[in-house]
Amino acid sequence: MKRLLALLAACVTALGLTGLLGPQAVAGPRAVAAAGCRVDYTVTSQWQGGFQAGVKITNLGAPVSGWTLTFALPDASQKIVQGWNATWSQSGSAVTATALDWNRTLATGAAADLGFTGSFTGANPKPTAFALNGVACTGSVEEPPPTTPGDGTPVGVNGRLHVCGVHLCNQYNRPVQLRGMSTHGIQWFSKCYNTASLDALAKDWKSDLLRIAMYVQEDGYETDPAGFTGRVNGLVDMAEARGMYAVIDFHTLTPGDPNYNLDRAKTFFASVAARNAGKKNVIYEIANEPNGVSWTAVKSYAEQVIPVIRAADPDAVIIVGTRGWSSLGVSDGSNESEVVNNPVNATNIMYAFHFYAASHKDAYRAAVSRAASQLPLFVSEFGTVSATGGGTLDRASTTAWLDLLDQLKISYANWTYSDAPESSAAFRPGTCDGGDYSSSGVLTESGTLLKSRISTPDSFPTS
């Protein structure tokens, strides 16, 4: 049950979306910030000899098309190890971060979220002398308070999640349902995931989660493991800063046997689990849609990847894909009994179920209804249209599905928070070239329906 990838691949060239995650720096800026900028610098975590920092730049001057941020590291031992959302370099104490193609434009008042990991042996003071295109950032250099319990955000209220029985439960050991959106492939639609769009997702859509779809093939992770790992980590940080959960999706699709990517999965999850182990907002999805393969093979893959995550992050929730494009085997003529009778040998896990409302109806809903009393389920991807990602929105079937998931307290992420040229997309084509991600003028029929469902109050239990 998947999108028309061949069509999308053709559209990549037509829309000029190639090379969004490449390491190339943009040639010199064409405009200069005339009235300065603001920088919010946050040390998000620190350990012996190392730290991770987020840098949010807000342009307070004229619109910028192409930018370079510079700053100084006050301690001689401080070194940039790895950065994301920019091309990073360091010479002595001077650090330079240059825009990538997808975030090179900063309108007046617009912001870009960057980040890096660093090392140090002495003190770890804040950087100084921030400048955007050579103009000093005097708006502020401040460290905003971290998300804390009680701040009203999904993560602030619920804290670190865990599986209890067949439910996803919060820090109060009460069942919760998360409702949110999935990105499209970040190699194609990276420009859709920026400060403005994630602000809109958190504040206007009131989304509980962002699923980060990192394709492994289709010009994805296998082409640039370090670059894609950095981009995923950057989006995790952006979700965390807004109090949303982040589902890290290892988006395997073709070939359908996840064991083909077993070594890649171990490498990727060892890295992201070690880096994000201290966060409360991370959920790992280890295989998107296994297809053309037995449940036994999927289970074997899961039982080899899960220990890699657990070695670094022993407490996080892990979502395991199921047979038949994560349909619990229904799309292959089977049913949930194969998982019920032969579950993955691991704890604190959930099983993925995916559906597309116009293609998957009563038989699929019946399987979910039966399985929900025996298995912890997470609908990590669904669409309002056909399994191709196109066609007409099926409002009746979508409503029946969402009502069922609400009733069973099953969490979900909709495909997709993007402006892809397909009817499953939440935004009309071209939306991600602007800054509006919420008004009726930019939403598709699917986006309008999902925003209305997601933005209703969560009423998370706290006692």
In this predicted structure, the answer to whether residue 112 has a pLDDT above a threshold of 70 is: yes
- As a whole number, mean pLDDT of residues 9-37 equals 41
In this predicted structure, the answer to whether residue 150 has a pLDDT above a threshold of 60 is: no
Could you tell me the pLDDT band of residue 64, with boundaries at 50, 70 and 90? Answer: confident
Between 66 and 124, the more confident residue is 66
As a whole number of angstroms, the distance between CA 312 and CA 207 comes to 28
- As a whole number, mean pLDDT of residues 59-71 equals 88
- As a whole number, mean pLDDT of residues 81-87 equals 85
**For the segment 159-185, what is each residue's pLDDT rounded down to a tens digit?**
999 999 999 999 999 999 999 999 999
Sign of CA dihedral 445, 363, 408, 329: negative
Place of tokens 């009460």: 174
Q: What is the pTM of this model?
A: 0.76
Encoding tokens for residue 364?
Answer: 């699929």
Helical pair 362-371 and 395-408, crossing angle rounded to 10 deg: 0
- As a whole number, mean pLDDT of residues 93-109 equals 86
Q: What pLDDT is attached to residue 18?
A: 37
* Averaged pLDDT of the chain: 88
Q: What percent of the chain has pLDDT over 70?
A: 90
- As a whole number, mean pLDDT of residues 55-79 equals 88
Q: What percent of the chain has pLDDT over 90?
A: 71
CA distances from 337 to 278, 323, 330 (A): 36, 12, 10
**For the segment 261-298, what is each residue's pLDDT rounded down to a tens digit?**
999 999 999 999 999 998 999 999 999 999 999 999 99
As a whole number of angstroms, the distance between CA 426 and CA 419 comes to 7
Q: What pLDDT is attached to residue 312?
A: 95
In this predicted structure, the answer to whether residue 83 has a pLDDT above a threshold of 90 is: no
Q: What pLDDT is attached to residue 16?
A: 39
Query: In one letter, which amino acid is 306?
Result: I
Could you tell me the pLDDT band of residue 111, with boundaries at 50, 70 and 90? Answer: confident
**For the segment 220-254, what is each residue's pLDDT rounded down to a tens digit?**
999 999 999 999 999 999 999 999 999 999 999 99
Least confident of 66-80, 389-403, 433-447: 66-80
Residue in 218, 240, 285, 289 annotated catalytic: 289
In this predicted structure, the answer to whether residue 143 has a pLDDT above a threshold of 50 is: no
Residue in 218, 240, 338, 381 annotated catalytic: 381
- As a whole number, mean pLDDT of residues 391-416 equals 96
**For the segment 197-224, what is each residue's pLDDT rounded down to a tens digit?**
999 999 999 999 999 999 999 999 999 9
142 classed as catalytic: no
In this predicted structure, the answer to whether residue 51 has a pLDDT above a threshold of 60 is: yes
Q: What pLDDT is attached to residue 439?
A: 94
Q: What pLDDT is attached to residue 421?
A: 96
Peptide bond into 255 cis (omega under 30): yes
Q: What pLDDT is attached to residue 144?
A: 45
As a whole number of angstroms, the distance between CA 411 and CA 56 comes to 30
In this predicted structure, the answer to whether residue 27 has a pLDDT above a threshold of 80 is: no
Residue 177 three-state SS:
coil
Q: What pLDDT is attached to residue 260?
A: 98
Q: What pLDDT is attached to residue 35?
A: 56
As a whole number of angstroms, the distance between CA 453 and CA 246 comes to 19
As a whole number of angstroms, the distance between CA 427 and CA 435 comes to 12
Q: What pLDDT is attached to residue 253?
A: 94
Helix-, strand-, coil-residue percentages of the chain, each rounded to 5: 30, 25, 45
As a whole number of angstroms, the distance between CA 40 and CA 143 comes to 6
Between 151 and 288, the more confident residue is 288
Question: Residue 154: CB partners within 8 Å, gap ≥ 6?
Answer: 178, 208, 209, 243, 244, 245, 458, 460
Could you tell me the pLDDT band of residue 32, with boundaries at 50, 70 and 90? Answer: very low
336 classed as catalytic: no
Contact 252, 288 (CB under 8 A): yes
